[in-house]
Structure 1
């Protein structure tokens, strides 16, 4: 299409009458009120987590607290949180105006006065349960309004309405909850899909590995008990009365911890030792589920467990990078929550009209990799400088400046030089010239040199 045609088309489009936008285009048709995936819809939305619905047994999110009590699962969750919390946080202005920079300074000052790492760690509880809620306590200080306390609240105390606003469940409003004021409760969500304001955390995936592991430990303890104290089999004479058999049973039961026992004549007692065959052990079963927990939580295993095959350093670094990527994602989500809620509220209270600054946690630079990169760059720069000196030194053989310049430009190393630098090198090329080399007797035709005996080194 030619330039004139494009111009005529845009002009014609500008002169067309404004068209009305259909009302349906400005609203959400597939909303929470007609969402068939939301169970037991009422005035508030219900959690759509299948694990909670099928296995909760009325406990709700409390079943995910049991996951944190597992030593390995709890450690993995803390490790994932720690990978992000250990990073330094920064505040970046939302614009270039003086008021925008003042807003960033104000936010940084107020955040520094809070136990910000603990605040972030509490909100990261959403990683397990899908969402987390913290309440902000505000106070006036001079002409400023600042958050003085941010407290984590149990998720089981909240429900969400169709607009995803939190509602506090109380003794008088156990189902619908009560309406809450604005700029008061921070809600952090992960795994949000569709019209589910409760999110979907790792608890839905970790529930089964932790449950199977717990059951495996129960069977292992039972086996150890049987192995440590073998079962005693008592054989009573045929025709013994039930009372005599019960008495013998009580006697044999006490014999498990006694050093001696008395049984009637004609009674046979023997020990039944616990035994099994095969290579599969309870420990292997539990280690399998520990690996599944590690993979589900941190995406890797080598930073926590030693591989049976030994592993290697390169693979370990890859696994560490996977953990860092998960921390990057957690940080982006948390940064969005804090920016959209807490940071926005601080700016609206104190500097309305200023651009909202952004707060985030930056991944620490890999010091070793940075050092190796700098070393390689320094070696490359030194090699380039040496090559340039050699080329300029050789160009001193030419008296004509233009010829010397063309000679230098004939090497790729000169492509990065500016015209000003190149002119300076051409002008000073004779200073780069090396001292005359020693005369070569073979070239100068000294016939006696070849016949001279070589001097032996002392």
Structure 2
């Protein structure tokens, strides 16, 4: 029996064996080396422009190496890019069934069971590497055990091992020898994360951030030279015409070492002056302002705002608005990630294990843009008795719960209350006041009363009822519980042929209980209100 993918295509046995093997592993001396070039060293505007031009024309190796390079060299870019990745990588993961059909619910439960392995959760940071470079590729290592055809590992593959097809400039292909090879079906998870429309090599944040990084590197280099020359006073040694060559050597050694050693000795008659540059602080501020400005532009590029990275004036209101911008970007990133994972993992897993389907479950990553769960539960609790009907699967999906397993030994929480036992023919249901009275009797004989019923009025009612019930025989108590109305209760007591003394006591206690029934009904009304 052949295994079909989500498109209904049969997978040959050779390809199934290949799903368990690495096909994009690094090569020691081939086109996929473990080491990488460093085009950021000595980068100039002309060279950066040529790297971008080559990437747009189908040769993206230097650009992808540069994108990795600047992430390692720029502290601010690495920080804000890491913040954006981690904001999505730690979001909750949920599975939505295609419908309430039993088979679709079974598919969703199968995916939820696979998610508990942590394979996807562990790979999310690597998948989100596409935020900077525009795309990411992870090789899927499948476990092909009977009944469990699922991904066992998602291995990150550096983007520099891939390139785009020369035919369309957008299809990701694997570097193999001197050519480009199409990616094996169902073997790779390719996540595209464009920050702008267009070809994939021109859609990553690194393309824009590289310019800011280059100009900032120039500023940092000039700043370092400035600090080296003017960050400390100039040491000026003076010697007279009578100084010998040995005297001048000693003086030069003292001038050269006094800054680092903070101590020196010179012969008497020699002088060392410290000449300070008065405008050194103003010159240094120029470099700092330029570097900070470039960092703020990078924050806007990656996070869409600056308040979460730099302390600026504006108060709580400005910070709140900037946080909303960051949340908008977070939701957009999570939706793109959910689409890639659903189409390339969820659908394939279900097709491999259950065959091609008309509808597939969806993997949702992110905080739901919905009413909070507490409000949903309260609404259903209040509107359900009034006729509101909600599909149980929707509530389970919101709560992240699976369908309960069938079987007598399975312990579950919740469920509908059992239907009342059918009344014998000719009998009438108990009147409302007798129902309240019966509930009162049950609460009085319970070992531990329900905490929510223990209030001042209920406590007083319980004390009064205990006094009225003292001395009632089991026969009278049974007739009270079986009565459907107060009139029916009086007739049942009359038929008992009680002793006059017992009858008087029963009547007295009956009057007290009638009073308590009224109070029990009042409590019910208050609770319903």
- Say yes or no: does 1:53 pair with 2:59: no
**Stretch moving more, 236-245 or 87-96:** 236-245
How much does 1:190 deviate?
A: 2.0
Q: Is the 8 A contact 2:61 2:163 kept in 1?
A: no
How much does 1:195 deviate?
A: 6.8
CA deviations 1:112-139 (Å, max 9, x no partner) are 2233223222111110011100010001
Within 1, Cα distance between the matches of 2:338 and 2:160? 24
**Cα 1:58–1:100 shift into 2, 3 Å:** closer
Structure 2 residue matching 1:84: 3-state secondary structure: helix
**Cα 1:205–1:245 shift into 2, 3 Å:** farther
For residue 468 of structure 2, what is the aligned residue in structure 1? none
- Say yes or no: does 1:188 pair with 2:191: yes
For residue 295 of structure 1, what is the aligned residue in structure 2? 300
Within 2, Cα distance between the matches of 1:97 and 1:199? 43
**Cα 1:322–1:281 shift into 2, 3 Å:** same
Within 1, Cα distance between the matches of 2:84 and 2:196? 22
How much does 1:201 deviate?
A: 1.2
- Say yes or no: does 1:306 pair with 2:305: no
**Cα 1:347–1:239 shift into 2, 3 Å:** farther
Q: Quick one: which of 176, 179, 203 aligns to 2:179?
A: 176
Unaligned 5+ runs, structure 1: 1-48, 379-458
Q: Is the 8 A contact 1:167 1:176 kept in 2?
A: no
Within 1, Cα distance between the matches of 2:319 and 2:50? 33
For residue 290 of structure 2, what is the aligned residue in structure 1? 285
CA deviations 1:278-331 (Å, max 9, x no partner) are 484443333222211211111111122211xx2122221111110110011111
Within 2, Cα distance between the matches of 1:312 and 1:51? 44
Within 1, Cα distance between the matches of 2:371 and 2:224? 47
Computed over aligned residues only, the root mean square deviation of the Cα atoms, in angstroms, reads: 3.9
For residue 321 of structure 1, what is the aligned residue in structure 2? 324
Q: Is the 8 A contact 2:89 2:125 kept in 1?
A: yes
Unaligned 5+ runs, structure 2: 1-47, 383-529
How much does 1:103 deviate?
A: 2.1
How much does 1:261 deviate?
A: 4.4
- Say yes or no: does 1:91 pair with 2:95: yes
Q: How many residue pairs are counted as aligned between the two chains?
A: 320
- Say yes or no: does 1:66 pair with 2:72: no
Q: Quick one: which of 148, 168, 173 aligns to 1:167?
A: 173
For residue 120 of structure 1, what is the aligned residue in structure 2? 124
How much does 1:91 deviate?
A: 1.3
Structure 2 residue matching 1:134: 3-state secondary structure: strand
How much does 1:61 deviate?
A: 1.5
**Cα 1:222–1:275 shift into 2, 3 Å:** farther
For residue 354 of structure 2, what is the aligned residue in structure 1? 351
Q: Quick one: which of 270, 274, 284 aligns to 2:273?
A: 270
**Stretch moving more, 343-352 or 227-236:** 227-236
CA deviations 1:9-57 (Å, max 9, x no partner) are xxxxxxxxxxxxxxxxxxxxxxxxxxxxxxxxxxxxxxxx968436999
**Cα 1:159–1:58 shift into 2, 3 Å:** closer
- Say yes or no: does 1:156 pair with 2:160: yes
Q: Is the 8 A contact 1:133 1:152 kept in 2?
A: yes
**Stretch moving more, 135-144 or 283-292:** 283-292
For residue 334 of structure 1, what is the aligned residue in structure 2? 337
Structure 2 residue matching 1:61: 3-state secondary structure: helix
Q: Is the 8 A contact 1:128 1:202 kept in 2?
A: yes
For residue 203 of structure 2, what is the aligned residue in structure 1? 200
How much does 1:234 deviate?
A: 4.5
**Cα 1:353–1:124 shift into 2, 3 Å:** same
How much does 1:340 deviate?
A: 1.7
CA deviations 1:150-207 (Å, max 9, x no partner) are 111111111232475543324xx1x423344210011111228777344521111222
CA deviations 1:318-357 (Å, max 9, x no partner) are 1111011001111111111112211221122112232122
Within 2, Cα distance between the matches of 1:53 and 1:149? 33
CA deviations 1:242-280 (Å, max 9, x no partner) are 999888655532444463344797x76533323316484
Q: Is the 8 A contact 2:61 2:160 kept in 1?
A: no
For residue 525 of structure 2, what is the aligned residue in structure 1? none
Within 1, Cα distance between the matches of 2:157 and 2:323? 32
Within 1, Cα distance between the matches of 2:362 and 2:61? 40
Within 1, Cα distance between the matches of 2:99 and 2:201? 33
Structure 2 residue matching 1:87: 3-state secondary structure: coil
Within 1, Cα distance between the matches of 2:54 and 2:184? 33
Within 2, Cα distance between the matches of 1:334 and 1:366? 19
